[in-house]
A and B are shown apart, each in its own frame.
Chain A
Amino acid sequence: MKTLRHTDAVIVGGGWTGLLMAKELTARTPLSVVVLERGASRRKGEYSASMDELDYYIRLRMMQDPSQETVTLRHSRDDRALPLRQHGAFLPGTGTGGAGEHWSGIAYRYLPDVFELLTRTREKYGVKRMPEDHSIEDWGVTYNELEPYYVRAERLMGISGRAGNLNGRAIAGGNPFEGPRSVDFPNPPTKIPYLAAMFRDAASSLGYHPYALPAATISQAYTNPDGIARPACTYCGYCERFGCMIGAKAQPSNTLLPLIARQKSVSLKNDCWVQKIVHKDGRARGVVYRDSKGAEFFQPADMVFLASWTLNNTRLLLLSQIGEAYDPATGRGSVGRNLTHQVAAPAVTGFFEKPLNRFMGAGSAGVAIADFDGDVFDHTGLPFLRGGTLYSVCYGFKPMTNFGVTPPSVKARWGPEWKRAALDWYDRTGRIQLYGEHLAYRGNFMDLDPVYKDAFGQPLLRLTLDWRDNERRMAEFLTAKAVEIARAMGARQTIPFAGLKHYDGTRYQGTHLQGGAIMGASPERSAVNTHMQSWRMPNLFVLGASAFPQNPSGNPTLTAVALTYRAADAIVERYVKRPQLL
């Protein structure tokens, strides 16, 4: 194994959080930084040749290669875990920019009470109404503390939307239930495709409060505070699972990479697969990685940052034996605990009278309601806590994956009758999605699999994950509301979501897995503090949604980026001068 030249900081993972940390450190300090990304580099203009449903949407060219490494899954500790042999429920990205390249661009702030979920829920509903085996935690940081960092994250990406709450003042057309914003969005809302406009009008007619989704597919040309200019979205519909060919969607490759390329003090190395963090006497000493030829290197560093997404952050901590692995039997140990996956489902599929032109749109060109989100509605007499949003987004429906859906009245699945019906309904079929909270439970966690290995012979990560009645009942409640809206949109027939049974590793439900290295105010109940710093190893920082103690209803990227800004401030302003626990 070759030992490389020492660097001040090594960052594992070249996505949103890793590249943002690299940019902040090198722009504001003299530190030298090495970013190790296990996937390939990005060529300028490569996305113009990527508008292909088969290779990108179905064959998943932007995702990690499951033949090299996957995870195993079981529903409970009594089951035998088996590998997810192909992608299904979630899509971890790879290559420079990570999943931040292929995301849809929906950029939510979380509701204020999300950050104090344990305290607020216990206060309002009492311990008895909380699920028996929950492991809900407060984040250790409040919405108000995070608000300035949300502003910076939104400006970085040029998020488009309309404030619903500007310094406590209600603004029509925005989300009235959101936390107060100190400033409005950097850009106005996106254009609204027809299906989403139907959803908006129907939701209004029912007395709900529709608003345009906060969108990283920006509504007008925009130059961010770093001087990075991007054009307006053109609604071509190639966002989710694709890179944006014109760069309108905020991606690490178009907002952060150009700045990093200019900085001499940072080097971004691709095809470097980090195997473990080397540590001694309570301090991280660097990382060991393999290059594409399999050669092993030791990269020594004074600071180590894990920024390799929820699952790999947790796996590297476990493989490196840093911190205490979580034991569900005793509840002890913080690494691996509180695994959650946002509750996401097609709440209802509706069959409409008029053509929708649903190939037009963008990953975040849509309309949502938050009338049943969080605790904004009264849960008295309801058999569950918390909630979620309902929305209709025209992400650019493509035919290979969407053709063939027919109303319940059509029984055939192939042949002339099916073909005629599928053609007839093809462009008149639309969905309302539900995105709900997933509470944390003692029995949902991650550890290392005892049987299955990756391409290098290291144990795979094992997920022990299943739904509880709280999520099942919440999804049922949201589904009924969605059906009501679909009818008000004029749906002639509907297919409601069949409901959550057991966690399904085959049904895509968004890449919003969280937990494993959660943040908090005490080292007994969390792996990192509110500056993403390891309690056990003060020169190790773990960035991203692995820190979220439980899963709010909104998409995690904006919050992950805001927390990275906050950590960067603490490191630049305090840690660099006095390297100790912040």
Chain B
Amino acid sequence: MRRREFLEISVSAVGGALIYSLDRRPTLLGAQTLRVPLRFFTASEAKIVAAAAARIFPSDDAGPGANEAGVVIYIDRQLAGPYGRDRWRYTQEPFEAGLPELGYQGRETPRQIYRAGLAKLAGFDALDAAAQDAALRAIELTPFFALLRTHTIEGMFCDPMHGGNAGMVGWQLIGFPGPSMSFDDEVEKYYGRAFRPKPQSLEQISGERVKPSEES
């Protein structure tokens, strides 16, 4: 087993607090830094992913972004879990290239796609924003970038139990209330007017701890 690696992030950068992480709860380093145990990425890979996600979904005057939501933590857990190793994909031989209408036919798992993609972005996190954007534009049409973009959006807006959308910053940003049990009174009442109830997570509304798929 490889040495356990950590991602160190500033407390003020993540939205309020990180939601629970089951057995591997993040621990506070001093008062300003969170040490998040990584499940798949190395520390240097995590820094590249965090930096790239922050260019895809930046933190700016339009609101918080991938850094505050903890997108890199979401992606790390997804890749460490069954999705990352293609547990649910048909992976029998032979692998052959096909028409786009037949979907992804590659042999590589999401983990392998990330690992290879990140190797080509070495040093990315040290670049300035303009150089980072140029580096991402150069890989914009690759399957790796497609995954990174999709996963960044997912990490912004997932239920916090999956490690992203920390403090529900993503849901607050778009006025999504999360899994509410009833809009019976509101569904015909708010025609053309924004209805923005305070978001609640699945754990909050169901009153029980839910085991996410990445833990299976």
- Which residues on the A side are within 8 Å of B133 (C-beta)? 415
Do the beta carbons of A54 and B213 come within 8 Å of each other?
Answer: yes
Provide the A77-113 mask, 1 if CB < 8 A to any CB of B, else 0: 0001011111010000000000000000000000000
Whether a CB of chain B sits under 8 angstroms from the CB of A329 is no
Do the beta carbons of B104 and A86 come within 8 Å of each other?
Answer: yes
Most buried by B among A85, A88, A415, A427: A85
From A51, A75, A238, A414, give the contact of B55 (CB < 8 A): A414
Most buried by A among B86, B91, B99, B104: B99
- Report the separation of the CA atoms of residues A427 and B175 in the bound assembly, to the nearest whole angstrom: 8
A500 to chain B, nearest CB (A): 11
Q: Which residue of B lies closest to A85 (CB)?
A: B90
Do the beta carbons of A194 and B191 come within 8 Å of each other?
Answer: yes
B204 to chain A, nearest CB (A): 11
User: If A86-B104, A355-B192, A413-B149 touch, does A360 touch B179 (CB 8 Å cutoff)?
Assistant: no
Size band of the interface chain A makes with B: 35 or more
Provide the B64-98 mask, 1 if CB < 8 A to any CB of A, else 0: 01000000000000000001001111111010101
Do the beta carbons of B65 and A419 come within 8 Å of each other?
Answer: yes
- Report the separation of the CA atoms of residues A79 and B15 in the bound assembly, to the nearest whole angstrom: 52
From B83, B88, B206, give the contact of A66 (CB < 8 A): B88
Residues A32-71 near B (CB distance < 8 A): 48-49, 51-55, 58-61, 65-67, 69-70
Most buried by A among B99, B102, B159: B102
Do the beta carbons of B191 and A419 come within 8 Å of each other?
Answer: no
What does DSSP make chain B's interface, helix, strand, loop or mixed? loop
User: If A82-B105, A400-B153, A414-B149 touch, does A236 touch B159 (CB 8 Å cutoff)?
Assistant: no
Q: Which residue of A lies closest to B213 (CB)?
A: A55
A56 to chain B, nearest CB (A): 9
- Which residues on the A side are within 8 Å of B23 (C-beta)? none
Q: Which residue of A lies closest to B170 (CB)?
A: A399
What does DSSP make chain A's interface, helix, strand, loop or mixed? loop
Do the beta carbons of B87 and A451 come within 8 Å of each other?
Answer: no
Whether a CB of chain B sits under 8 angstroms from the CB of A351 is no
- Report the separation of the CA atoms of residues A415 and B136 in the bound assembly, to the nearest whole angstrom: 10
Which of B2-10, B34-42, B119-127, B181-189 is near enough to bind chain A? B181-189
Most buried by A among B153, B170, B205: B153
Residues B147-201 near A (CB distance < 8 A): 149, 152-154, 156-159, 161-162, 170-171, 173-177, 179-184, 186-188, 190-195
- Report the separation of the CA atoms of residues A398 and B156 in the bound assembly, to the nearest whole angstrom: 12
Which of A22-30, A503-511, A523-531 is near enough to bind chain B? A503-511
Q: Which residue of B lies closest to A451 (CB)?
A: B94
Do the beta carbons of B83 and A52 come within 8 Å of each other?
Answer: no
From B56, B96, B171, B174, give the contact of A423 (CB < 8 A): B174
Whether a CB of chain B sits under 8 angstroms from the CB of A18 is no
- Which residues on the B side are within 8 Å of A519 (C-beta)? none
Whether a CB of chain A sits under 8 angstroms from the CB of B202 is yes
Do the beta carbons of A193 and B90 come within 8 Å of each other?
Answer: no
Do the beta carbons of B174 and A73 come within 8 Å of each other?
Answer: no
Whether a CB of chain B sits under 8 angstroms from the CB of A548 is no
Do the beta carbons of A234 and B174 come within 8 Å of each other?
Answer: no
A229 to chain B, nearest CB (A): 18
Most buried by B among A70, A399, A503: A399
Whether a CB of chain B sits under 8 angstroms from the CB of A246 is yes
User: If A357-B186, A360-B186 touch, does A52 touch B210 (CB 8 Å cutoff)?
Assistant: yes
6 A-B residue contacts at CB 8 Å? A52-B210, A75-B99, A84-B103, A192-B188, A400-B158, A420-B62
Given A354-B193, A426-B174, list of 20 further CB < 8 A pairs?
A48-B206, A49-B202, A52-B179, A52-B212, A55-B212, A69-B90, A75-B101, A83-B90, A194-B192, A197-B188, A235-B182, A236-B179, A357-B186, A360-B187, A360-B195, A414-B57, A419-B57, A423-B63, A427-B194, A453-B92
Instruction: Return the 3 tightest CB-CB contacts between A and B, nearest first.
Output: A51-B179, A234-B182, A399-B157
Chain B interfacial positions (CB closer than 8 Å to A): 55-58, 60, 62-63, 65, 83, 86-92, 94, 96, 98-105, 133, 136, 140, 149, 152-154, 156-159, 161-162, 170-171, 173-177, 179-184, 186-188, 190-195, 202, 205-206, 208, 210, 212-213
